[in-house]
Each structure stands twice: as structure tokens, then as C-alpha cells.
């Protein structure tokens, strides 16, 4: 053997020995980002969701390792070891920063906001309520979480200092092993998700940002959210076909309208639009799919309540953080009067999805905001024909929208001028300041009503929309002007300070309603005016910094534990008119949600509309009751289904399901209905569908 060959073999053995010695360091380097991701997901899950499920452990581990290895592969392509180390530290630091943002936004709003909502809607809220955010950050819990989220970066820096000299250059074999392992982990996770129906539903057919986080971890939730935002994941308009149920008997038509042996027959709330022909007339596949879906929907029937409010005035109030518990015979007597002497909605829900802007979207459009916090902004570019603003404007009503906080907040100066109100929109900064001379937080609903009612009280017909603000958080007597203003009225309540402050805030709304009704009565218009009050969302500000299953103050307010989103979103709808007080109250005990308000009002006002175009129902019609949210949870007269757990709870022990279905068949039937309605909500918003149907 030559000397050179011997030297080569010796060098080869040294290299192999060196690689063996460097194996721990190389493994540390390869799995530093994956372990960081697993750590961050675990901390966030415990701090927000409040529990660790088996599904999260499985998919959080597999997807998390996959993402970490992919990031490591990309960073390892940097040839300079010093730059590589700096970039890697930046990546780990950015991951920690993202977790901080997600955590503190959740802490403020008690729900996960997707990127559309954070940047399209709640981004403004984060800026507006920065004092609250700062308070959440600069407290023991906030500082502790910041430290926890930056533990991986701290470990990275320490490792750089201690082990820098021991780390060798990244070799291509190492890079190849890293990316191959990343792909394997990702494919295994994907195959397992396909094998588990509930997981695949969340991943694909029933994707929901919150459920994706709960089941797969925050980074999969973010990845799917970005993918759907860029590629239009909500635009799958392949509607499913449910089993064809027998028609529902309209009890009101058969019981309330009999005259001797003669039964009054009502027609359908439907127009003469041929949606199948409309589908054939367009080359746009999405619009055609929507047309064909609408053609399959059974219209609701007119009924004894059709036209009850024809030619009356309308005042619609989206009430900030309103709840059934804000109605109190002693503290808020006017709200109590309105809730009990009008229509009584005893099983009402306001689905939370995108904060205030999402609740307004529900109330105004009768749809769920499938594009999150940017839904209203998208709708501003559409033809918003199916709104009370447009419909009553066609009839010559004087109309205007009002808000007593900053007029540009949530871009209302752009969105609320597209709702069909003849006089546009006024907020604080483009006119409201003349009625509210002192800028407080929150501002006064009473002062807003006192000033603005004089703009329309003498109009022949008026259609007015308010977004109130007096009920807004924070619920403390030191940081909330409305709470401190009414502190004495709630002093004797047997409740915690946040509950007292919350109820104190709503006294201002009550005083506003007292003044409004008084002016209507003085003008002789109370009997000819309809007032609607619906919340924008549950009072999430009660539990700043809480988690989704630990909301002690909301539980105190409700008098029960908050076990799911259906319970969380229970509320109270008020539809009142002076004319209703002349008769016995009418109770609507079936499940009702905010998307049912629009078709109900259209029917009550005798508007010629096509009920097939709306996902909600006229509550007085034969349409079956169905409450659902963007998480695919739902409630009917027969039971409640929670999608995150896959659990169905029958309404009673001896429930008899309709159409001859057994329980499993009924669940599948309603799940199909909900999926279709969600797709329709998305399709209408993203494709400007009403412009296609009604033209310019």
C-alpha cells in the first residue's frame, strides 16, 4: 500500500470519527426548530384552548416536526455558517413573536381571529384598544407568556455561545436527510388525517380556523388559513345533496288561520326568477353553481304575520356586547318592556366569528362572514340588494346609518355607505361630534339618540341603523366612563366588579331606548315604528386573558358554565313596536339566530322577496329552525351538535326525528344543510352574487 493511499484511508477514518462525534450537535441543529415549534404549540394550546386532545398530540407532533424540518432545510441552504446562525435565530424569534400576537389577540377577544380578521377587521380594534392590550402584556401572566414563547430563542442563543466552535458546516447529505424526513412526517400526517373522518372534515370539507388550531396546532391552522386566503379555499361550490325530506306542515297556517272549516292558503315568499335558466345564461361556473343550488332550495311560505309591519318605520340597533342578562326589570326597565311586550325570542343566538364587524355582518346581510374580518369590506364592493337599507330605500324611505365611535373604525365610512341608506352614514368625526360634545370611552348611546332622532322623527317614513358603543369593555369602574357614570345604580348587586360594570354600561343603552320611545310617542309614531335590537357578539371583554373553556365572569353572568360556542353565543333578540303592546306577547321558542332577522323583517314588512336567496329563515314561516356558526356547530328543535367533539345532544330523551330519520340519519342530513349554507354564504360574498341575480 502506497503512503498516499494509507494517508487517504487515515483521513477517511478521521472524517468518519469526526462525523460520529458531531452527530449529537447535528441532531440538535436539525431538530432545534421542530422542537421550538412543538414547544410553542403546546404552550399556546394550554394557555388558550385549555386542554390537550389526543388528536392535537398526534397531528401537532407530526405536522409540527414536518414544518420545523422544512424550515431547517431552507435555512441550511445558507452557505455561510455565521449568517446561517443569525437567520436561524431570527426565524425562531419570529415564531415566538407570532405566538405572542396570537396569544394576546386571543386574550382580548377570547377567540382565535384568523389573518383576515386580524389584518382586515380586528387590526383596527387592536390599535383602538391598545391600552387593554398593553395591560394584558404588562402583567405577571403576560410577561410569563412572553418569556415562555421566547424560551426557544433563549436556548438558541445559549447554544450559539457554548457550541459555536463545535458546529461543522452543513453537508448536503444532512440537508437531504432533513427534507426527506420533513416530507415523510408531512405525508404520514396527511394520510392519518384522511383516515380519520372527523379530522379530514376539519382539514377540508368543514374547515374552520379555530377547529384547525384545536386539532392540528396553530401552525397548521395558520398554513391552512393562508392557503385558503390565497387560493380561495372557501370557493368550493360543489354543493352536497341531502336526503329529500317530506315538506314541513306549517302549523301557523293550519292552526291560526282557520275560519270555520276553511283554511287560509298562503303563497310562497318567492319571485318568478328561473334560477336554472339563469345558470344556463352565465359562463361563470361559480355563479352557475350558486344558481343551481338556489333552484333546489324550498322557499318559505307567507303566513299570518306577512305584512304586519307594512309601511312602518324601522330602527335597527346592533348593540355592543348586548346579552339577555343586560335586560333587568329594575336596572333596564325600558329594555325589559321591549323584550317582554313585543315578540319574545327565548332561544336566540348571535354567532361570534369576527368580533363587532362580524356581528354587524350577520345582522345586516343575514349571512355568516366567511371571509372573517374583511367580509364587510368585500361586501362593500358588491351589490347589497338583499338588505333592509336597499329594500326600504326602493320604497322611498328616508334612511341613515349612525355610530357613536370613530367614524372610520372598521372602515365604516366605506362599508356603511353601501347599505342602501339614502342619507349615508354618520360617525364620530363626520358629524356625530355635534351631538356628543365630550369624547369619552365609551361614548354615550343616550347622547347619540338624543341628537340623531331629531333628524328623522318628522320624516314620513324612515329606516335607521345604529351601531351602539356604550356597552363596550373594559368592564371596570376606573377605565369605563359609562360604568363609572352608573356605578351607584349597580352598587348593591351581588356580583363581581366586572359584572356590575357590564350591567352599568347597559343602563346607558336603556336610557337611550327610553328617550327614543318617548320621542316616538310624543310624535305619535310609536305604533308605526319597529325597533330591533340584536347584539354584535357575546360580552367577550368580561374575561380578558382567559381561555376558551375558562371564562369565569361570562359564566357568572350566564349562571352556567360555558361548555361550547352555542352556549357562549346565546343571547336575546328584541323586535318591538308600540302596536305590539296592544296584544298578548307572542313567544318564539324555536332556535333563532341573527341571520334569521333579515328574512323575518322582510316578511313582516311585506317586502316582495325570494326566500331561497337567504340562508336564514322567516321565524313565522314553515322553514325548519336551524342555528349554526362558522365552526359548523348547530342547533335545531331536535338537538345540538358540536363539531369539535362530534357530539350530538338530543333535545329530549324521547325525541322523534322528522322525515322518519333515525338519529344518525338526522345528524348527517343537518350537517349537509349546514355545509351547503356555509358554501352559499361564501359564494354570495366572494362572487357578488346578487349583482348577477338582480343586475345593476
Question: pLDDT tens digit string along 210-242?
Answer: 889 999 999 999 999 888 877 765 567 889 877
Cell numbers placing 416: 356603511
- Parallel, antiparallel or unpaired: strands 343-345 and 348-349: unpaired
Strand 462-467 versus strand 398-406 pairing type: parallel
pLDDT tier, 252 (very low <50, low <70, confident <90, very high otherwise)? very low
Q: Compare 16 and 288 and report the one with higher pLDDT.
A: 288
What is d(CA 149, CA 669) in angstroms, rounded to the nearest whole number? 43
pLDDT at position 14 over 70: no
C-alpha cell at 143: 410577561
HSE-CB at 509 with a 13 A cutoff on CA atoms is 30
How many other CB atoms are found less than 10 A from the CB of residue 516? 25
- Given pLDDT bands bounded at 50, 70 and 90, which one contains residue 173? confident
- Separation of alpha carbons 105 and 115, rounded Å: 11
Burial class (CB in 10 A: 0-12, 13-18, 19+), 654: exposed
d(CA 11, CA 389): 83
Strand 262-263 with 258-259, pairing = antiparallel
> What is the grid cell recorded at 407?
367614524
DSSP conformation class of 547: B
Q: Report residue 251's pLDDT band, with 50, 70 and 90 as the boundaries.
A: very low
What digits encode the pLDDT tens for the residues 333-342? 999 999 999 8
Q: What is the 3-state secondary structure (H, E, C) of 605-636?
A: CCCCCCHHHCCCCCCCCCCCCCEECCCCCEEE
Over 60: is that where the pLDDT of 257 sits? no
Helices (H), 341-463: 355-365, 375-379, 388-394, 412-415, 445-456
> What is the rounded CA–CA span in Å between residue 523 and residue 458?
8
Residue 102 region by backbone torsions, left for phi larger than 0, else alpha for psi between -120 and 50, else beta: alpha
**Contact of 408 with 384, CB cutoff 8 Å:** no
The DSSP output letter for 474 is P
Q: Where are the beta strands (DSSP E) in 505-556?
A: 529-535
Contact residues for 287 (Cβ-Cβ < 8 A; gap 6+): 279, 687, 689, 692
Residues 299-343: pLDDT tens digits?
Answer: 999 999 999 999 999 999 999 999 999 999 999 999 999 999 989
Cell reading at 115: 389573518
635's grid cell = 342547533
List the domains of the chain with CATH numbers.
10-231 (no CATH), 251-289+296-694 (3.40.720.10)
Q: Which three cell numbers stand for residue 522?
A: 310624543
Q: What is the pLDDT of residues 526-583, one digit of tens each?
A: 999 999 999 999 999 998 765 556 789 999 999 999 999 999 999 999 999 999 999 9
Q: For residue 640, give the 3-state DSSP assignment.
A: strand
Assess whether pLDDT exceeds 50 at residue 138.
Answer: yes
Poorest-pLDDT segment among 36-40, 129-133, 186-190, 347-351? 129-133
Strand 570-571 relative to strand 348-349: parallel, antiparallel, unpaired? antiparallel
Whose cell is 329594575? That residue is 330
Nearest to 328 by CA among 160, 499, 506: 506
Distance CA 636, CA 647 (A): 14
How large a percentage of the chain has pLDDT more than 70? Answer: 88
Rounded (10°) CA dihedral 18, 21, 25, 28: 130
Q: How far is residue 390 from each of residues 33, 53, 139, measured CA to CA in Å?
A: 53, 47, 48
300 contacts 618 by C-beta, under 8 angstroms: yes
Per residue in 187-207, pLDDT tens? 999 999 999 988 998 898 888
Q: Cell numbers of 683, please?
A: 359564494
CB 34 within 8 A of CB 64: yes
Residue 403 makes CB contacts below 8 A (sequence gap 6+) with 409, 412, 416, 425, 426, 427, 428, 432, 466, 467, 469
Mean pLDDT, the chain, integer: 90
Phi-psi region of 659 (alpha: psi -120 to 50; beta: other; left: phi over 0): left
Residue 113 and residue 410: Cα distance in Å, rounded?
15
If you search the block for the grid coordinates 422544512, which residue do you land on? 70
Lowest mean pLDDT among 347-356, 530-539, 609-618: 347-356
For residue 36, give the nearest of 95, 76, 102, 88 by alpha carbon. 95
Number of H helices, E strands in the chain: 28, 17
Nearest-5° Cα angle at 356, 550 to 445 = 110
Strands 647-650 and 639-642, how do they pair? antiparallel
Q: Helices 218-231 and 3-48: crossing angle, nearest 10°?
A: 90
Q: Which of 507, 437, 500, 499 is nearest to 468 (CA)?
A: 507
For residue 267, give every residue at least 6 positions away whose Cβ sits within 8 Å of its Cβ, in sequence order, or none. 301, 302
Of the given ranges (50-64, 94-108, 255-269), which has the lowest mean pLDDT?
255-269
Find cell 331629531 and name the residue.
Answer: 454
3 state SS of 535: strand
Confidence of residue 353 (pLDDT cuts 50, 70, 90): confident
The C-alpha cell that represents 61 in the structure block:
407532533
**Res. 266 pLDDT band, cuts 50 70 90:** confident
Query: Is 531 strand, coil or helix?
Result: strand
Chain mean position to CA 31: 36
Amino acid at each position: 500500500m502506497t503512503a498516499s493511499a494509507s494517508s487517504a484511508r487515515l483521513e477517511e477514518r478521521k472524517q468518519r470519527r469526526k462525523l460520529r462525534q458531531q452527530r449529537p450537535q447535528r441532531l440538535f441543529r436539525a431538530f432545534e426548530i421542530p422542537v421550538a415549534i412543538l414547544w410553542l404549540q403546546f404552550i399556546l394550546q394550554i394557555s388558550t384552548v385549555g386542554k390537550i386532545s389526543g388528536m392535537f398530540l398526534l397531528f401537532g407532533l407530526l405536522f409540527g416536526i414536518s414544518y420545523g424540518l422544512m424550515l431547517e432545510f431552507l435555512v441550511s441552504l445558507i452557505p455561510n455558517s455565521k449568517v446561517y446562525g443569525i437567520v436561524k435565530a431570527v426565524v425562531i424569534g419570529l415564531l415566538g413573536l407570532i405566538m405572542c400576537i396570537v396569544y394576546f389577540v386571543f386574550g382580548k377577544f377570547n377567540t382565535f381571529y384568523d389573518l383576515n380578521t386580524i389584518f382586515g377587521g380586528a387590526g383596527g380594534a387592536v390599535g383602538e384598544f391598545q391600552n387593554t392590550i398593553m395591560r394584558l402584556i404588562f402583567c405577571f401572566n403576560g410577561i410569563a407568556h412572553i418569556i415562555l414563547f421566547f424560551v426557544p430563542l433563549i436556548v438558541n442563543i445559549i447554544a450559539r455561545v457554548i457550541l459555536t466552535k463545535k458546529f461543522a458546516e452543513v453537508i448536503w447529505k444532512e440537508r437531504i436527510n432533513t427534507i426527506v424526513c420533513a416530507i415523510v412526517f408531512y405525508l404520514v400526517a396527511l394520510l392519518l388525517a384522511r383516515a380519520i373522518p372527523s379530522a379530514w372534515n376539519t382539514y377540508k370539507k368543514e374547515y374552520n380556523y379555530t377547529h384547525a388550531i384545536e386539532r392540528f396546532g396553530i401552525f397548521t391552522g395558520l398554513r391552512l388559513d393562508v392557503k385558503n386566503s390565497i387560493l380561495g379555499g372557501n370557493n368550493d361550490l360543489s354543493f352536497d345533496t341531502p336526503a329529500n325530506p317530506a315538506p314541513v306542515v306549517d302549523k301557523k297556517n293550519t292552526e291560526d288561520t282557520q275560519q270555520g272549516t276553511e283554511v287560509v292558503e298562503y303563497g310562497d315568499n318567492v319571485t318568478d326568477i328561473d334560477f336554472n335558466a339563469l345558470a344556463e345564461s352565465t359562463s361563470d361556473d361559480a355563479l352557475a353553481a350558486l344558481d343551481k343550488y338556489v333552484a333546489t332550495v324550498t322557499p318559505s311560505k307567507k303566513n299570518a304575520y306577512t305584512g304586519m309591519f307594512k309601511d312602518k318605520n324601522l330602527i335597527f340597533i346592533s348593540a355592543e356586547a348586548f346579552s339577555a342578562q343586560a335586560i333587568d326589570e329594575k336596572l333596564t326597565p325600558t329594555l325589559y318592556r321591549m323584550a317582554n311586550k313585543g315578540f319574545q325570542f327565548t332561544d336566540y343566538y348571535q354567532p361570534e366569528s369576527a368580533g363587532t364587524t362580524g356581528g354587524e355582518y350577520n345582522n345586516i346581510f343575514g349571512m355568516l362572514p366567511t371571509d372573517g374580518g374583511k367580509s364587510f369590506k368585500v361586501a362593500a364592493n358588491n351589490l347589497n340588494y338583499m338588505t333592509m337599507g336597499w329594500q326600504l330605500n326602493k320604497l322611498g324611505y328616508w334612511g341613515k346609518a349612525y355610530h357613536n365611535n370613530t367614524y372610520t373604525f372598521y372602515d365604516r365610512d366605506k362599508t356603511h355607505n353601501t347599505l342602501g341608506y339614502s342619507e349615508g352614514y354618520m360617525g364620530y368625526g363626520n358629524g356625530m361630534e355635534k351631538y356628543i360634545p365630550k369624547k369619552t370611552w365609551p361614548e354615550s348611546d343616550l347622547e347619540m339618540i338624543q341628537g340623531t332622532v331629531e333628524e328623522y322623527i318628522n320624516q314620513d317614513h324612515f329606516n335607521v341603523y345604529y351601531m351602539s358603543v356604550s356597552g363596550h369593555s373594559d368592564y371596570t369602574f376606573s377605565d369605563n366612563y359609562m360604568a363609572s357614570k352608573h356605578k351607584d345604580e349597580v352598587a348593591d348587586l351581588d356580583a363581581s366588579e366586572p359584572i356590575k360594570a357590564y350591567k352599568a354600561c347597559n343602563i346607558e343603552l336603556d336610557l337611550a331606548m327610553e328617550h327614543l320611545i318617548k320621542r316616538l310617542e310624543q310624535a305619535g309614531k310609536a305604533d308605526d315604528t319597529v325597533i330591533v335590537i340584536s347584539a354584535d357578539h357575546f360580552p367577550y371583554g368580561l374575561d380578558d386573558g382567559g381561555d376558551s373553556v375558562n371564562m369565569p365572569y361570562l359564566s357568572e353572568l350566564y349562571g352556567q358554565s360555558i361548555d361550547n360556542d352555542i352556549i357562549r353565543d346565546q343571547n336575546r333578540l328584541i323586535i318591538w313596536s308600540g302596536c305590539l303592546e296592544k296584544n298578548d306577547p307572542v313567544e318564539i321558542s324555536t332556535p333563532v339566530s341573527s341571520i334569521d332577522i333579515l328574512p323575518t323583517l322582510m316578511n313582516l314588512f311585506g317586502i316582495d322577496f325570494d326566500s331561497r336567496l337567504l340562508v336564514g329563515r322567516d321565524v313565522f314561516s314553515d322553514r325548519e329552525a336551524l342555528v349554526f356558526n362558522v365552526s359548523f356547530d348547530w342547533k335545531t328543535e331536535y338537538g345540538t351538535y358540536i363539531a369539535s367533539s362530534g357530539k350530538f345532544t338530543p333535545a329530549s330523551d324521547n325525541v322523534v326525528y322528522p322525515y322518519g330519520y333515525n338519529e344518525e340519519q338526522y345528524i348527517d342530513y343537518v350537517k349537509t344543510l349546514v355545509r351547503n349554507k356555509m358554501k352559499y354564504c361564501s359564494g354570495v360574498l366572494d362572487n357578488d352574487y346578487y349583482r348577477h341575480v338582480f343586475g345593476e
